[in-house]
Amino acid sequence: MHSITLWTSLLFLINGYFAMEPIILIHGGAGDIPQNRVKGKLDGVKVAVIAGHKILAQGGSALDAVEAAVLSMEDDENFNAGYGSVLNLRGEVAMEASIMRGEDLNAGAVTLVKDFPHPISIAYKVLTDSPHSFIGGEGAKLFALDKGFTTVPPESLISENAKNALEEFLQHGELGRTEIGMKNEGGVGTVGAVAIDKYGHIAVATSTGGMSGKAVGRIGDTPLIGSGTYADDNIGGVSTTGHGESILKYCLAHSIIKLMENGTDANTATKEAVTGMTNRLKNTAGAITLSKNGDVGIYFSSKRMSWAYIKSNKIFYGIEHNQILEDEYRPS
Ligand code: ASP
């Protein structure tokens, strides 16, 4: 055997031996989710986590995997992202999304997006194709058009549930509490995904319609790097959901990362930071976390949060406190 072939085979073996097990962990939003929305959310997170895992299983990147999982939930009206996003006070959809790459801390985010079905893909383009990290409103639209995205009529993103949720909010809502819009038929949630690929690279994506009855122009935590999303290959990745104004004041995603950087494990860090935010600011949230070693952290202080992850040929998922359901999974 030529020595070059020998070396190539050896490198291949070493790479195979040390390759990480790819993992994807997602959430479908925290809040006071009513019982009649539970099944749709559990079904939706299972479909989305498989969409993301397929990419990882084929050797794809963590970034592509988190985008695929979030796209799946943006298309699913069970979630408050893309189609089915909640409405602002003027009855409009105004979406926000962010995505971050842990290898080089590069990030892309968009806000106040009104007429594109997949804000996460525009955020991804900001990450790869823009000198900036965060673009909003008209600028985000111009950027997206320039990169070849096509608009849809804004009304086509509005679901019946979202209209009902706004109605309910206008009659009984208390501004500033995410859960208010979630007590009724329109109870939906922000979506997020954290993945680690076989090369050990971490990526995180989060996408939302915000909160029902929000002011025109309101920007929440989801597109803010450090609040809604954070990824660092040297530490781990976090996506958050819940009361946006509280999450952004507390920099929730980065608070969890800091705890892990100082030696706290993923699960404890997630629980400590979410509880800390809720104690300090009296509003609820949830977060999902992966450490650089693939340890999982899931915690929410709200009534419910749907989540799912795939690890070791199993899908784990749940929505209630202390609930871990499990299905066999064989990547096809
Ligand atoms: N964090 C989102 C926001 O306030 C809402 C949510 O996660 O449900 O915009």
Q: What is the pLDDT of residues 240-289, one digit of tens each?
A: 999 999 999 999 999 999 999 999 999 999 999 999 999 999 999 999 99
Smallest CA-to-CA distance from 237 within 309, 176, 186, 170 is with: 309
Q: How many CA atoms lie within 13 A of 262 on its CB side?
A: 7
Domain coverage including residue 244: 20-328
Q: Is residue 3 part of a domain?
A: no
Average pLDDT over residues 174-201: 69
CATH number at residue 284: 3.60.20.30
CA–CA separation, 132 vs 109, rounded Å?
9
Per the DSSP assignment, residues forming a β-bridge with 136 are 111
Segment (H or E) for 265: none
- Mean pLDDT, the chain, integer: 92
The Å distance, Cα 132 to ligand 1 centre, comes to 24
Residue with CA at minimum distance from ligand 1 atom 4: 244
Counting atoms of ligand 1 from 1, which one is nearest the CA of 210? 9
CA dihedral 221, 64, 75, 309 (to 10 degrees): -80
Ligand 1, pocket residues at CB < 6 Å: 29, 31, 80, 178, 189-190, 208, 210-211, 220-222, 241-242, 244, 247
Lowest mean pLDDT among 5-14, 167-176, 210-219, 224-233: 5-14
> Mind telling me the catalytic residues?
190
Structure-derived torsion over alpha carbons of residues 311, 284, 236, 132, reported in degrees to the nearest 10: 120
- Which pLDDT band holds residue 331 (cuts at 50, 70, 90)? confident
Closest ligand 1 atom to 189 CA? 8
219: annotated binding-site residue? yes
Q: Residue with the nearest Cα to atom 9 of ligand 1?
A: 210
Residue identifier of the C-alpha nearest atom 6 of ligand 1? 242
**What number of helices (H) and strands (E) belong to the chain?**
9, 13
Residue 328 confidence (pLDDT) above 70: yes
Read off the amino acid at residue 309. Answer: Y
- Nearest Cα neighbor of 202 from 90, 72, 299, 105 is 105
Query: Which of 68-77, 160-169, 208-217, 238-247 shows the lowest mean pLDDT across its residues?
Result: 160-169
Three-state SS for 195? strand
237 located within any domain:
yes
Stretch 308-317: mean pLDDT: 95
Q: Which atom of ligand 1 is nearest to the CA of 244?
A: 4
What count of residues does the chain have? 332
Residue 167 is assigned to a structural domain of this protein? yes
Q: What is the mean pLDDT of residues 217-222?
A: 97
* Both structure tokens of 187: 């109870």
Number of structural domains (the chain) is: 1
Cα(1) to centroid(ligand 1), Å: 59
Checking if the pLDDT of 3 tops 80, the result is: no
Sign of the C-alpha dihedral computed for residues 83, 141, 250 and 268 taken in this order = positive
Q: What is the mean pLDDT of residues 190-198?
A: 98
Q: 102 among the known binding-site residues?
A: no
Q: Which long-range contacts (CB under 8 A, 24 or more apart) does 160-163 make?
A: 161/77, 161/84, 161/185, 161/186, 161/187, 161/188, 162/84, 162/85, 162/86, 162/87, 162/93, 162/186, 162/188, 162/209, 162/212, 163/87, 163/91
Question: Does 13 fall in a domain?
Answer: no
Going 210 to 211 to 216 to 219, the CA torsion angle's sign is negative
| Distance in angstroms (rounded) separating the CA atoms of residues 103 and 225 | 15
- Residues 222-230 have a mean pLDDT of 98
In angstroms, rounded to a whole number, what is the distance separating the alpha carbons of residues 117 and 110? 13
